[in-house]
Amino acid sequence: MRKGIWRSAIQISRPVNVLIAMLSILVGAIITGTFQPLFQIVLACFSGGLIMAGANTINDVFDIEIDRVNQPNRPLVLGKLSAEQARNIAWWEFGVGVSLSVFISWLALIISLLVSLLIFFYSYKLKRLPLIGNFTVSLATAMAFIYGGIAVNRVRLTLVPAVLAFLYHFGREIIKDIQDMKGDQLDNARTLPLVYGEPVALKITTIIFLFLLVLLPFPFLFDWYQIWYLVIVLLGVYPIIIFVIYSMWKDRSSGNLGLLSKILKADMVVGLLAIYLG
């Protein structure tokens, strides 16, 4: 590919999201108490990262008309890539990501295939359905921790961070739907805020986040994680979620919701640090 296409291919993959997915897989493996087999952990990180890249790329292909309104700076909207080029890039990312899983285990291959298919149908159809799309992408994202556990054959210890990550992403995804209402409406999408209204979407998001706040101390209270987990969560996660709940009710503008979504994305790193140190 030409240099410009390479740059656009990286941009459309949303490298920050890819990096967070890879870190989640790495943390998922490390918290089980072993770095072995290191080769499989590395493979899992790259496999999951490529699948995430493919998911983001194919999502832009299906969402190009929506992005003309909601995300006008995306490569496809700007004409830096054609839809055919983006599709080919996505198939390559999915293909290599799934192929790498073959060298981890049969379970890793099954999970990578299922997640790839799930995220493809999310972009194709499920994203445009109320709550189902939010649930699907949150589940696929939370599987990163379990994928790390699969790499070291210790899945049970990754279930707690997977559940917490699922709820965190679930709330954030609904906020993004509220933010994207204008473009989604033009594409006849039936997202939660478009079908049931913004207040209902905000209430459900609030319930999800409050439930998450209740669950967050449990890994410490049950002696699954150590004190550093609780300290980081109390100082770095609680204030962010509480601020997001307050701010989204105070200001429902697309600009503010977009800012809150970015703040939540940045705070994912804090959450990963809490789990790692815990």
- Model pLDDT for residues 238-270, shown as the tens digit of each residue: 999 999 999 999 999 999 999 999 999 999 999
CB 252 within 8 A of CB 200: no
pLDDT at 114: 96
- Helix or strand or coil: residue 152? coil
Looking at the structure of the chain, the number of domains it has is 1
pLDDT of residue 77: 85
Q: What's the predicted TM-score (pTM) here?
A: 0.92
Model pLDDT, residue 184? 81
Going by C-alpha positions, the residue among 116, 162, 117, 167 that lies closest to residue 142 is 162
**Of the ranges 44-48, 58-62, 238-242, which one carries the lowest mean pLDDT score?**
58-62
Expressed as residue numbers, the domain containing 201 is: 3-277
3-class SS at 231? helix
> What is the tens place of the pLDDT at every residue in 130-178?
899 999 999 999 999 999 999 998 888 899 999 999 999 999 999 999 9
Tokens of 1: 């590919």
Q: Are 152 and 34 in contact (CB under 8 A)?
A: yes
Q: What pLDDT is stored for residue 4 in this prediction?
A: 66
Pick the range with the lowest mean pLDDT from 72-76, 110-114, 262-266: 72-76
> What is the pLDDT, as a whole number, of residue 201?
96
CA 220 to chain centre: 24
In the chain the first and final C-alpha atoms are separated, in Å, by 43
Q: DSSP assignment, residue 253?
A: -
Cβ partners under 8 Å of residue 44, min gap 6: 25, 29, 101, 104, 108, 147, 148, 150, 151
pLDDT band per the 50, 70, 90 thresholds, residue 124: confident
**Tens digits of residue pLDDT in 1-35:** 565 678 888 889 899 999 999 999 999 999 987 77
Average pLDDT estimate for 109-131? 91
On whether the CB atoms of residues 115 and 130 are closer than 8 A, the answer is no
**Mean pLDDT, to the nearest integer, of 82-104?**
93
Q: What is the pLDDT of residue 127?
A: 84
pLDDT greater at residue 104 or residue 65: 104
Mean pLDDT of the residues in the chain: 92
What pLDDT is stored for residue 239 in this prediction?
97
Residue 66: what pLDDT?
84
Condensed to tens digits (0 to 9), the pLDDT of residues 197-251 reads: 999 999 999 999 999 999 999 999 999 999 999 999 999 999 999 999 999 999 9
CB atoms within 10 A of CB 276: 16
pLDDT on residue 2: 61
Kindly report the CATH number assigned to the domain that includes residue 43.
1.10.357.140
